[in-house]
Amino acid sequence: MRVNLLVSVKDLFEDELSAFQISNDNTIKAGQTATWTGSRSIPFSMGNNKDSKLAELSDDKYKVVWEPQAIVFADGTKLALAEN
């Protein structure tokens, strides 16, 4: 199974600070889970206030929202959100 996700980083007021797409190209077997064990690293330009705000927040002052966009099963069938 392949999974494509939209990852949204929001402050405690639900304002989106950053968003990006990732995919898990490794197979996840039925009934199993995958765990991300990465860390936060935010390079930012001086002109982007949202990046600098996110870089300065402590870990308890933001949340990460994982929104599945598509799941591709081993048999090739796909479950995806409707495109707007």
* Long-range pairs for 54-57: beta carbons < 8 A, 24 or more residues apart: 54/9, 54/17, 54/18, 57/11, 57/17
The pTM assigned to this predicted structure is 0.56
Give, for all 84 residues of the chain, the pLDDT tens digit. 667 778 888 888 988 888 888 777 666 777 777 776 766 666 655 555 666 777 777 888 888 887 778 888 878 888 887 765
